[in-house]
Chains A and B, each alone.
Chain A
Amino acid sequence: MTDIFKGMKPTRRSFLRGAAAAGVGAAAGGGAARASGDPAFAELQPWMQELGDPVDAAPYGMPSEFEAHVQRKTVYWLTADPISSINFTPLHELDGIITPNGLCFERHHAGAAHVDPALHRLMINGLVDRELVFTMEDLLRFPRENHVYFLECAANSGMEWRGAQLNGCQFTHGMIHNVMYTGIPLRLLLAEAGVQTAGKWLLAEGADASGMTRSIPMEKALDDCLVAFKMNGEALRVEQGYPLRLVVPGWEGNMWVKWLRRLEVGDQPWHHREETSKYTDLLADGSARRFTWEMDAKSVITNPSPQAPLTHGPGPTVLTGLAWSGRGTIPRVDVTLDGGKNWHKARMSGPSLTKSLHRFYFEFDWNGQPLLLQSRAHDSTGYVQPTKDQLRAVRGTNSIYHNNGIQTWHVSKTGEAENVEIS
């Protein structure tokens, strides 16, 4: 064989030519003789016979072409333009707990900045003993840690306050991702600068054209925050803040400043635009909560869901979904098939890590009748995910942020799923 193809690219055509020359062409169609109604058997498939891609075909590998529909998607009417905008993680196409880097939802306020790491600096200034500047090279010499954390935008499910609106968990719940970060504990960097006793707050600032800023209490900064440069083992993606981002576990995504360029220590919060005009929760009486940092426990059934209908008819089926809490782990998720008359404990599977997505399954035999599906997360503090009406009773419908209410999918007899609300 190697003699025949020497110097040739093993494409389909060269193979056929080679095969014909060797007088074995007829044998290639031998599979057709196998009697079967299943197209997978009716013909010998090209991939069973011909050579696949060489190892240098894709130096950075991409998903199969049959998975091309698995994409982040945006909702164009949500924002004035696609630069200060958002797209959504296709949760219904994923399993396990880790979000692939290229599918992590994006939210930028001035587009995704392409920052040259050689020209990137992290400055620490303000109420510190030494105001410091670090290069990326300096940062790689600090001890680092690895942690899996979810990042959820505070506005995730924000379009659903007034009632069921978007048909698909990608759109209702897709402003979330869960990756393993490699980063430097923020406390080590702050110790390097020497935080003064009056230093109670930290301002994190990004290097993009929005100059994103958020005030973070020092207690949190010294607890579990990371200054991360890797996600899922590789460099941060451009749209996730390459080369450096802040990780603020369990707290709203806007605080996880991307393209992190500066940390200022101060004695009071800054009350910047993203903690006054935005990311404050307007209640029904016109007053507004500020500094609602923690993400409440939440869950969603990813399959079946409007973008992932039941196509197989009655019989065994796998219901699955995700649950998370900014306050800890998720020891338990309940699932109902009948709109909350009866609940069943779902089966948790995969690592149960604090402030990380958790995967649950509920396997059952579908009787072909309509279903009203809901999931309800319990977190390690004893908090139980509320219904949307319970939330509305406290907050009204204008708070945009922090909607962690229970989601309902109606599955019809034909298996289609729709976003609904129920009594």
Chain B
Amino acid sequence: MSRFPDAAAALLAAALIAPAAFADEPAQGRDGGFGLGREASPEEVALWDIDVRPDGKGLPEGSGSVEDGEEVWSYNCAHCHGDFAEGIDRWPVLAGGEGTLANDRPVKTIGSYWPYLSTVYDYVNRAMPFGYSQSLSPDDIYAITAYLLYSNYLVEDDFVLTHENFAEIEMPNAPNFFMDDRAETEVPQFSAEPCMSDCKDSVEITARAVVLDVTPEDGEAGGGID
């Protein structure tokens, strides 16, 4: 007991000299691992690993025609995305917009923007129809994907998409994507010491939010699909 006050004083002193003392000791691994978890069975991996890559890795065997696609589409997708994938109300537009990317109001769709066809297969298969994910068969997804190519004028109406010809399809906008270059194009010019006093002679207001007046008011009712 007699040493306790000393120890407390020492601790307090240490705390005072090291004001920003946040403990940050990394958690350590263990040689050979912790032996936690269990092996995943091949069946389990197959059930969950449904992702598809641009090179076609992950595609299941199957095929679907534009014609079949139109039917599957009209049952499962058209009431939100429109008969021709043009988008109903505010639901996403999936077709059209070619040549608009440099416009004032670009229309980004599968045809005008998406760089890879595999993304269509993968996404529709994992997330659509909205509210009933993973309910369609591989052939249905191939057919819908073919139909979306057709809606974007990228294939003819007799086209059949299969796991074999899939990787051959090139999307028109693929070359227009490039790796983040902010480190070269932005960071240097945004790293100068800025002006602190008498930086400008006059200041004018050039835009005001009240002009647009789109801020929600308290108690505004839910809009849902408008």
Residues of chain A touching chain B, judged by Cβ–Cβ distance below 8 Å, are 69, 73-77, 79-84, 109-110, 123-126, 130-135, 138-139, 141-145, 163-168, 171, 184-185, 187-188, 191-192, 194, 203, 205, 209-211, 213, 261-262, 264, 266, 268, 270-273, 276-277, 280, 282, 284-294, 296, 306, 334, 338-343, 351-353, 372, 376, 381-386, 390, 394, 398, 410, 418-423
CA distance A88 to B26 in the complex (A): 33
Q: Which residue of the partner chain, among B33, B36, B48, B119, contacts A138 with CB atoms under 8 Å?
A: B36
**Residue count of chain B within 8 Å CB distance of chain A:** 89
Let me know if A291 and B208 touch, CB within 8 A.
Answer: no
Are A76 and B216 closer than 8 Å at their CB atoms?
yes
B:180-203 near A, CB below 8 Å: 180-182, 185-187, 189-203
- Residue B84 at the chain A interface, CB threshold 8 Å: no
- Whether, in the assembled complex, B61 has its beta carbon less than 8 Å from a beta carbon of chain A, the answer is no
9 closest residue pairs by CB, A with B: A76-B223, A143-B27, A339-B203, A286-B102, A211-B126, A286-B101, A80-B90, A419-B209, A163-B207
C-alpha spacing A266/B57, complex, angstroms: 11
20 additional A-B residue pairs with CB within 8 Å, beyond A286-B102, A287-B176, A398-B106? A76-B226, A77-B223, A81-B224, A84-B130, A142-B34, A145-B26, A164-B207, A211-B133, A270-B53, A272-B122, A277-B113, A286-B101, A288-B101, A289-B180, A290-B178, A341-B198, A383-B190, A386-B186, A418-B210, A420-B206
Contact with A along B5-45 (1 / 0, CB 8 A): 00000000000000010100011110001101111100011
The answer to whether B127 touches A271 (Cβ under 8 A) is no
A340 CA to B212 CA in the complex, in Å?
24
Does the CB pair B126–A342 fall under 8 Å? no
Question: Which listed residue (B52, B53, B134, B215) contacts A167, Cβ 8 A?
Answer: B215
Closest Cβ neighbor of A206 among chain B residues: B126
For the complex, is B163 an interface residue (Cβ under 8 Å from A)?
A: no
> By the criterion CB–CB under 8 Å, are B212 and A271 in contact?
no
Q: Name B212's contact: one of A79, A165, A376 (CB within 8 Å).
A: A165
Q: Is the CB of A166 within 8 A of B200?
A: no
| B180 A290 Cβ-Cβ under 8 A | yes
Q: Hey, which chain A residues are within 8 Å of B40, CB to CB?
A: 123-125, 131-133
For B176, list chain A residues within 8 Å (CB). Answer: 286-288
- What chain B residues lie within 8 Å of A398 (beta carbons)? 106
Q: Which residues of A contact B225 (CB under 8 A)?
A: 80-81
| A164 CB contacts on chain B under 8 angstroms | 207-209, 212
- B65 contacts partner chain A, Cβ-Cβ < 8 Å: no
> Among the listed A138, A211, A390, A419, which residue makes an inter-chain contact with B127, where contact means beta carbons less than 8 Å apart?
A211
A339 to B52, CA, bound (A): 50
Return B86 CB to nearest CB of chain A, in Å: 14
**Judging by beta carbons under 8 Å apart, are B177 and A288 in contact?**
yes
B1 in contact (CB, < 8 A): no
The reply to whether A82 and B224 form a contact with Cβ atoms under 8 Å apart is yes
* Cβ A133 vs Cβ B122 within 8 A: no
Would you call A125 and B45 a contact (CB within 8 A)? yes
Among A133, A166, A203, A306, point to the contact of B51 (Cβ < 8 A).
A203
Which of chain B's residues have a CB closer than 8 A to the CB of A192?
33-34, 36-37
In the assembly, what is the distance between CA of A79 and CA of B215, in Å? 14
Number of A-B contacts (CB under 8 A): 274
Interface of A (DSSP majority class): loop
**Bound Cα distance A313, B184 (Å):** 47
Which chain A residues lie closer than 8 Å to B186 at the CB level? 296, 386, 394
Docked complex Cα distance between A88 and B218 (Å): 14
Contact B20 A382 (CB under 8 A): no
In the assembled complex, the Cα of A188 lies from the Cα of B197 at a distance in Å of 50
Query: Which residues of B lie under 8 Å from residue A420 when comparing CB positions?
Result: 205-209
B-side contacts of A187, CB under 8 Å:
29
In the complex, whether B168 has a CB less than 8 A from a CB of chain A is no
Residues of B within 8 A of A376 (CB): 194
A77 with B226: CB separation less than 8 A: yes
Q: Which chain A residue has the least Cβ–Cβ distance from B214?
A: A165
Task: Enumerate chain A residues within 8 angstroms of B53, measured Cβ to Cβ.
Answer: 266, 268, 270-271
Is A384's CB under 8 angstroms from B191's CB?
yes
Provide the bound-state CA to CA distance between A187 and B113, in Å: 35
Cα A395 to Cα B206 in complex, Å, equals: 20
> B91 interface residue, CB < 8 Å from A?
yes
A6 to B92, CA, bound (A): 65
Find A74's partner among B91, B115, B216 (CB 8 Å cutoff): B216
List chain A residues, Cβ under 8 A from B37. Answer: 132-135, 138, 192
Chain A residues contacting B101 (CB-CB under 8 Å) are: 282, 286, 288
Question: Please, which residues of chain A bring their CB within 8 A of the CB of B34?
Answer: 141-142, 188, 192
Shortest C-beta distance, B41 to chain A (Å), equals 8
What CA separation (Å) do A343 and B193 show in the bound complex?
A: 12
Chain B residues 155 to 186 lying within 8 A of chain A, measured CB to CB, are 176-182, 185-186
* B residues less than 8 Å from A342 (CB atoms): 196-199
